[in-house]
Amino acid sequence: MQTRAIAKNVGHPPRKVRRVTDAIKGRRVTEALAILKFLPNMPARDVYKVVASAAANAENNYSLDPDELWVINAITDEGVTVKRFRARSHGRSSRILRRSSHITVYVSDDPQDLPKSARQRKRR
């Protein structure tokens, strides 16, 4: 049974969040939470919350054991971009783009739901 959790308009750029989500794909939820807890990257906090929420959704809605869950997929999409301008010399201006992202995490109790590449990594 697959469940998901979504966090929208997280205040970190998608490029930086993808570095964190790629580290947890195909791992057990308990292992992924341990990795996220000690990662030095700032987006790791937000991804930690989404993974914990997906595990809680599986436990509360479908009575699944949280110790048996796998992170099937973690997707980061681009959210709203806020555009600002900053003054520069000689009366010019430059654009500042404040990017945000949407984080979606899928968890499942069946390891067969894992993508083929993640299953091969699990065996090593």
Tens-digit pLDDT profile for residues 84-121: 999 999 999 999 999 999 999 999 998 888 877 666 66
Of 79, 67, 60, the C-alpha closest to 3 is 60
Of 7, 30, 24, 27, the C-alpha closest to 114 is 27
DSSP letters along 8-41, please?
Answer: EEESS-HHHHHHHHHHHTTSBHHHHHHHHHH--S
Architecture of the domain delimited by 2-123: Alpha-Beta Complex (3.90)
d(CA 95, CA 55): 40
Residues near 120 by beta carbon (within 8 Å), at least 6 away in sequence: none
Take residue 56 and report the two structure tokens written for it. 């809680």
Of 62, 5, 69, the C-alpha closest to 31 is 69
Mean of pLDDT over the chain = 93
Q: How confident is the model at residue 22 (pLDDT cuts 50, 70, 90)?
A: very high
